[in-house]
Structure 1
Amino acid sequence: MADLQDELHDHPEVGELPEAFDAPRIPETGTEPAGGAEGELLDRAHALLAGHPVADGYSGLPWALRHLPWYDLQLGESGVDTDVPRLRQGQVGALLCSLHLPEGLAAGRAVGATLEQLDLARSVIDTHPEGLRLARTAGQVLDARNCGRVAVVLGPATAAALDDSLSILRVLHSLGLRVLTLAGTSWASEAGLTRFGEEVVREMNRLGVLADLSGASDATVGRTLTLSRTPVLCTRSAARALRPHPDNLTDELLARLGAAKGLCLVPLTAEQTGPSIRDVADHLDHVRAVAGPECVGLSGTYDSGNAHPQGLADASGYPRLIAELLCRGWPDTDLALLTWGNMQRVLRTADFNARAAQERREPSTAKIAELDG
């Protein structure tokens, strides 16, 4: 452990700070509150997060940990972007733990590799009980927060992990999976959802597995928004009007997402949102304006190999981002939705809809060869 801790881990940050403008600005580096107006904003941010902590919509921690021979997230781990001390410093109350697979992995390995990551994630939670707790429902997320633990929700996983089988979807759900990304398969492609893809969405609704549409084609996003009875997530999507990244959403799709009570989780990555805290705040402003305050959330995307805006190298930087939004005039009610309320609403709705669907719908036995053959 000492060997790992002795080596400094360089968190990727890019870009230079823009020139300051009239309102008091928030420092983009450092951890100590500034004095005067800046310090007051940071104090307000910490106070708000004490009651409404951050629900972080994407963490690549399981895959990142595969490369470490030994780690201790409870004391602090320099080999990754995420550990319990930094989560607490950033006042993170919940974390969606990605089970996504690296590009280039053989298709036949998708199921096994996803199960390995799921097993690793559960093992990490079990070995850090003072800081982390597995959560399968919205109620368990709230219980974990009330006990001073970070609630870990498993997912998103890649749709290839289903191997075109609804039975595998049910097994993954029984092991704790709660979010699935609908992209990269024959039934969720550039052409949209096939008949089997639509059946996957219905079975996800019945189980309480949320659909993640980041990286999905516009056709898949549109059809899923129409079909799903449960709000959907976009776990890593910002505003395409501000930055033309393929995973970012057009204003038309943002408006549809807002009308469907879905949730756009804006990623803290330089590639998708820009090199500074202010760029991230610009995207949050835009999504809130187009989709509404009930449609916007946060996605750290730490430990996923991305460069992060300056001042947001890890989860400890969230208070500085919230202080920037306070500086811009965001009301406390909208900030409480951004950090915690919107994610909790989506999880509660998924739980409620699943219970209702299971009373009227049997597990689907549909086969891809029958529907799409």
Structure 2
Amino acid sequence: MADLQDEINTTAEAGELDQSPARPDPRTEPLPEREPGHGPEAAEAADPLERAHALLAAHPVADGYSGLPGTLRDLPWYDFETGDSGLESDLPRLRAGRVGAQLWSVQVPEWLGTDQVVRTTLEQIDLVKHVVGHHPEWLRLARDASETTDARNCGRMATLIGPARGTALGDSLGALRGLHSLGLCAVTLCGTSWAGADGLTAFGEEVVREMNRLGILADLSGASEATVRRVLAISKAPVIFTRSGAAALRDHPDNLSDELLAEVGEHKGLCMVPLAADRTGSSAREVADHLDHVRRVAGPECVGIAGMYDTPEVHPEDLVDPSDYPQLIAALLDRGWPEADVALLTWGNFQRALRGADFTARATRERRTASTARIERLDG
């Protein structure tokens, strides 16, 4: 995968919003350009928040986890354009926070039975498509890095479907392919019979290989160390952790030890640090500590952001909704993060993971046909 890593430092694609009927929002107006003659020293001395807005205009936030589908499904009505229905991430706030892409989780409650999990996941996917189709001036569905870039170049926020719970597959590779055909981009492996405390079963390994062939990202947040290590060993595509911080800073089942973070860095995976008080702390400073730690241990190419907005999670007091992303980025710049590393954090690393999944899928399909493996044959 080394050849893919060189691509992450390419110049970001620029795109302005097309003609849109949406109400103007003063928080999203372009920043004034600096006066001619100001050199690098002046840029470094500029206000961190101003620098953050300028950087995010070129490298917007790719948010690794949004709970909007579940929240919208439970609301009797919603107004996505004004936020009057109490959404944390209504469209004006997403624009104010310079969000360019989001993974919209279609995970469902753990207590649902298998049949209900499959049905409800399908309903969530259908809802995502309905919402995106109803707001074409703001949103665009995307399945891979190319479509994510295209959406951004057209001034739209790329909406990617996933992650879904692994139980939504119903222990069927055919179901995995069916969900992929509907646009599913990521699957969380934990909570299944084939990815447990002892690692992957034979069928679980076949699931990972088929995900590689399809271009579906493996989400390992919440997975056991044995599962994480086995997936890292057999997956040809980058893996992601959609909501994991540093266990060295805060003890949480989804957070990663330094040993695992180092292994994630060696395999060029992506740890997306959540903005959730129980996982990463109750302030932007504590979230920034986690981002610092993951960047130091796993490497600047392996850290991202997961807002976890519109979920039951309590957010840090100064990161209450997506419009606060510039404040977080300003805090990192104030800590001395190079702008190149911030650009990787917000946009480049997620794009690299998507490109890696797509590259692996194309290569794998040339030598491997769809798997017909069945769980009762492999794990029975």
Task: Tell me how far apart the structure 2 counterparts of residues 135 and 38 of structure 1 sit (CA, whole Å).
Answer: 38
Contact 2:77 2:85 in 1 (8 A): no
Which deviates more from structure 2 when the two are superposed, residues 189-198 or residues 106-115?
106-115
Residue 95 (structure 2) aligns with = 88
Deviations 1:75-107 (A, max 9, x none): 334422111111100000000000111232223
**Unpaired segments of 5 or more residues in structure 2?**
1-26, 32-43
Deviation at 1:39, TM superposition (A): 7.8
One-letter code aligned to 1:237:
S
**What does 1:2-21 align with in structure 2 at a 5 Å threshold?**
none
Task: Tell me how far apart the structure 1 counterparts of residues 84 and 345 of structure 2 sit (CA, whole Å).
Answer: 28
TM-score scaled to structure 1, two decimals?
Answer: 0.89
The answer on 1:300 being equivalent to 2:307 is yes
Aligned-residue RMSD, C-alpha: 1.5
The answer on 1:100 being equivalent to 2:107 is yes
SS of equivalent residue, structure 1 residue 93: strand
**What does 1:1-373 align with in structure 2 at a 5 Å threshold?**
40-373=47-380
TM-score scaled to structure 2, two decimals?
Answer: 0.87
Contact 1:68 1:79 in 2 (8 A): no
Deviation at 1:240, TM superposition (A): 0.0
Contact 1:277 1:312 in 2 (8 A): yes
Which deviates more from structure 2 when the two are superposed, residues 225-234 or residues 38-47?
38-47
Deviation at 1:311, TM superposition (A): 1.4
Contact 1:56 1:298 in 2 (8 A): yes
Which deviates more from structure 2 when the two are superposed, residues 302-311 or residues 65-74?
65-74
Contact 2:67 2:310 in 1 (8 A): yes
Deviation at 1:310, TM superposition (A): 1.2
SS of equivalent residue, structure 2 residue 255: coil
SS of equivalent residue, structure 1 residue 197: helix
SS of equivalent residue, structure 1 residue 313: coil
Q: How many residues align?
A: 340
Task: Tell me how far apart the structure 1 counterparts of residues 254 and 90 of structure 2 sit (CA, whole Å).
Answer: 27
Deviation at 1:137, TM superposition (A): 1.5
SS of equivalent residue, structure 2 residue 228: helix
Deviation at 1:74, TM superposition (A): 2.6
**Given the superposition, is the C-alpha separation of residues 352 and 39 from structure 1 closer, same or farther in structure 2, using an over 3 Å criterion?**
same
Contact 1:205 1:350 in 2 (8 A): yes
SS of equivalent residue, structure 2 residue 366: helix
Task: Tell me how far apart the structure 1 counterparts of residues 209 and 113 of structure 2 sit (CA, whole Å).
Answer: 28
Contact 2:68 2:104 in 1 (8 A): yes
SS of equivalent residue, structure 1 residue 230: coil
Contact 1:114 1:161 in 2 (8 A): yes
Task: Tell me how far apart the structure 2 counterparts of residues 159 and 77 of structure 1 sit (CA, whole Å).
Answer: 34
SS of equivalent residue, structure 1 residue 172: helix
Residue 22 (structure 2) aligns with = none
Task: Tell me how far apart the structure 1 counterparts of residues 63 and 208 of structure 2 sit (CA, whole Å).
Answer: 24
SS of equivalent residue, structure 1 residue 164: coil
SS of equivalent residue, structure 1 residue 237: coil
Deviation at 1:359, TM superposition (A): 1.1
Deviation at 1:70, TM superposition (A): 1.9
Contact 2:79 2:85 in 1 (8 A): no
**Unpaired segments of 5 or more residues in structure 1?**
1-30
Contact 1:74 1:131 in 2 (8 A): no
Contact 2:288 2:331 in 1 (8 A): yes
Deviation at 1:149, TM superposition (A): 0.6
SS of equivalent residue, structure 1 residue 66: helix
Which deviates more from structure 2 when the two are superposed, residues 100-109 or residues 295-304?
100-109
